[in-house]
Amino acid sequence: MDPKCLAFDPNFFFCLFPEEFLSRILSEPENINESKIIEGEYAYQTVVVPNNYMGPRLSFPLFPDDATALLEAFKQKKQLHAHYVLRLFHEARKHLSQLPNITNVSTCYYEEITICGDLHGQLVDLFLIFYKNGLPSPQKAYVFNGDFVDRGKYSMEILIILFVFLLIYPKEVHLNRGNHEDYIVNLRYGLNKEIARKYKEHSGKILKLLQNVFSCLPLATLVDQKVLIVHGGISDTTDLDRLAKIDRRQILSVLSQKRKITRSFEPSEFESAKLFRDGPPKPTDSLSKSEVTKRVQEEYETCRTRAGSSEYTESRASATSFPSGSDMTLASTESTFVDDAEIQQVLDILWSDPIPQDGCKVNEDRGGGCYFGPNVTRAFLQKYNLQFIIRSHECKPDGYDICHDRKVITVFSASNYYTMGSNRGAYVKMGRDLIPHFIQYQAGKSARRLTMTQRISRVEVSAYQVLKEKLFAHRSDLTTAFRRYDKKNTGLITLNEWANAVESVLQLGLPWRMLRPQLVPHLTSGKLEYKSWLKDIVTEQRSAVQERLQSSLLENIYRNLSSLETIFNIIDTDHSGLISLEEFHQTWKLFSDHMNINISDESISDLARSIDFNKDGNIDFNEFIEAFRLVSQSPP
């Protein structure tokens, strides 16, 4: 999830749909009985499957064969009929609504638990995860940590697959709500448009039902009461006891229910939502086209103000403009009262991000949630006797990231998120020891070949890291140089003074003012608080050094791909392309005897099983290189 996605384009209500579609999905039903059918539990009964339908079918209750057939149909680009979609969503809502806000998972019942991050409608990544890790089963539990939808082209297929497995394996498959499981966000970032394109006249029913399904998704998952899995993060006011008691089903959107008296509004509720600033709503039949447009404009401004956001045009979405008017009528719904403090609790866990500095402050980039520092994490973990937090919400170049003294793990499962080759995807596996193992991947063969621009970008990142290391090494000299310019001991210097001081110490002949945005991200009234800046450099570098020191022994041994290929081929004695557990055992016995190292058979078998991530009894090359992660140099 990119920063600033709360700052909506002013055209966001109309930019995704033609007028006739909006008129259809927002129009009031003709009579009360029809309203109950469309908005109630049995909307699927109004949709008939034609005799010539050749796509996949679902019968309830669902069985593993249904999931297998559905996966195969989606691989062949087939589409599930709206009747089955509505029935599936209906059944999923019934199940999800019975779950607690914070679900509990125990590792004692499973071989391992797999945690997946953002998928964002990228079906190829979900297929790759299942291929590498295996399908959900009574022995293999999954936690999908939100943001299943938006941006990608296959959000509906991902939802359908996840809900099918949820109903087949309700104890093994767990779904957390992400910030994109929110109909206001869906209006802007693609899900609504995808549903309109794929399901046309039935899209209104699906959208209506899906809003309620999203509101029933649990907010967090606890593994063995020791590991908290949430989509975004925490704040200094996050209260798990309070979160456990919130009626989450009333929160259709954290963006439109920001105050205690706020009514939940949906795309069909602009007239009745009591969010308008010009008094009570007028009867719907008296609204003209211009009044409708004016009301929607005002509603946008209200939402934007409450989210604390500013104008922003999302780089991955095309900007469009309002149509001149609409023939819509607007329907009303019953009020829903949600306490503002409860909304804030949910907003924080769905939208927040970690930062390296101590403290907790408003997340101005996203417009919602907060930035939380290591001290907030430590206090939270200590309060609830937890070991660490797993979250998602941010794209990472390697698919995962570790921060806050290894107490906060970010996992992001949508590879090639920005462009082909831009990032890897990853998922996390944990056994009963609760030690996280990271599995990386990249969908598509061409993704492994970076463009020249992408290669330059990565080189730039490495170069900036080298500069930060030099700044860290010369921090004492830099402090002295800065103080020469700070005659009044204000702690502030100008950018020119900063550039001159850095050059006088490092003497690298670099254009420091041009490099400033990457090295000095924050200024105070155009000046640099050099003490805070140096402290941030120290914090960042010490964290990096600590992570390198904690690299495993295997990471220090193997350093390049060609060596790994050679080792793999030596162990693969029958040249099948797979290393059997017996081949692995024999090779390590020979190695230990030759090196005069005492390694027990049990230790060798444990090592082999730990590398065999998908537990199919063989080690393929991808599993092999993931186990022996490459590093460019030994830890200092």
Q: Tokens 């938006």 belong to which residue? A: 150
Distance, in Å, from the CA atom of 171 to the CA atom of 166, rounded to the nearest integer, reads 8
- Cα torsion through 373, 376, 382, 388, rounded to 10: -40
State yes or no: is 585 an active-site residue. no
Classify strands 227-229 and 388-391 as parallel, antiparallel or unpaired: parallel
Provide the CB-side half-sphere exposure for 445 (13 A, CA).
0
How many DSSP H helices and E strands does the chain contain?
A: 23, 18
Identify the burial level of 70 via C-beta atoms within 10 angstroms of its C-beta, where 0-12 means exposed, 13-18 middle and 19 or more buried.
Answer: buried
DSSP SS3 for 25: helix
Closest CA to 83 of 206, 212, 213: 206
Rg (CA), the chain: 27
56 to 53, 79, 195, 344: CA distances (angstroms): 9, 7, 18, 41
Query: Active site residue: 81, 90, 174, 180, which one?
Result: 180
- 96's CB contacts (< 8 A; 6+ apart) are 166, 175, 213, 216, 217, 218
Letter string b/e over residues 142-168, b meaning 16 or more CB atoms within 10 A of that residue's CB: bbbbbbbbbbbebbbbbbbbbbbbbbb
Helix (H) / strand (E) element for 228: namely strand 227-229
154 to 131, 150, 161, 231: CA distances (angstroms): 18, 8, 11, 20
- Would you name the residues annotated as active-site residues? 180
